[in-house]
Amino acid sequence: WIHLNIDFPFNLTGVLYFPKLGNAMEVSRNKIHLYSNQVFVTDDVRDIVPEWLLLLHGVIDSPDIPLNVSRSYLQADGNVKKISEYITRKVADKLQDLFKTDRPAFEQKWRDLGVFVKYGVISDKKFDDRATAFTLVENTLGEFYLLSDYKEKIKANQTDKHGKLVVIYTNDPEGHHGPIKTAEQRGYDVLRLDTVLDNHWMQHLEYRSDLGFVFVRVDSDTVDNLVQKEDARTSVLSEKEQETVKSLFEAAAKSQPGASVQLSALAPEDQPVQITKPEFMRRMKEMQSLHGMGLGDMPDSFNIVVNTNSPVIVD
């Protein structure tokens, strides 16, 4: 709950609350009601409340807003902008206070609160600056970290040869169980990023120079290539044997649209065959599908990765 009460430079009272969202993000524009001296004015508050906070529910009462309000009036009135900035600041203050006073409770609510925070971070630069102090990430073990703390956690083991911090994530912890376990065996940490906004939020974080993050989904490549290092394994198969193996798999996969066979010299104990989905193409397809663009109907692009050091393949 966020209680609003201010009498200068404008009069405003009210109460707003965060609804339980789960993995949904339906912006209902009639969940915040605006009153003037307890007389209902409107439930269309998009010019008073920032777009990303329209997910909130509640009531606002301000005598400084006339009864027969119009959109053109709201857009031109200086008090309205101040009210919007005040509400944004109060929301940030409340979230910061919740995080400081009872972090376990804040973490428990993060699945719902995180949708608001990520939406605000993407939409509002001032909120983004303040939200750094309480924006969390959750890994597949159920552990929560501030972004700065997570950067320190993965720095030693997940820095690639270009100096980038590789953040490995899953949007389907159950479906990616195998790749997650393989990554964890290599000492990697895997984040759970499975909300509707996470694709946008990841790209936003990748542009932040202070973090140096690059996000890769756990099934986007073999575990050896998730965090690219200098050392590369060699295959125990000859070039001719590799050509034979590749032709066999290409013949088996020719009926699958979007499939590509790739040979990789992995550790002998790694799986003999893996299916990976390249990060760039998959993310672009998901983004365009979200915006109703054409690529969403294209077949998935995926690699059939054959481990040429696996005893199953070698034999």
pLDDT at 166: 95
> How far apart, in whole angstroms, are the C-alpha atoms of residue 299 and residue 256?
10
pLDDT at 307: 80
User: 277-305 in b/e burial notation, b at 16+ Cβ within 10 A?
Assistant: bbbebbbebeeeeeeeeeeeeeeebbbbb
pLDDT tens digits, one per residue of 111-157: 888 988 999 999 888 899 999 999 999 999 999 999 999 999 999 99
User: What are the per-10-residue average pLDDT scores of the chain (315 residues)?
Assistant: 83 87 57 87 79 86 71 62 84 93 94 89 91 95 96 94 92 92 93 89 88 91 83 76 81 80 77 77 64 56 80 81
pLDDT at 281: 67
pLDDT at 70: 60
**Strand stretches in 18-91, DSSP E:** 32-36, 39-42, 57-61
Q: At what angle do helices 103-123 and 198-206 cross, to 10 degrees?
A: 80
pLDDT at 71: 57
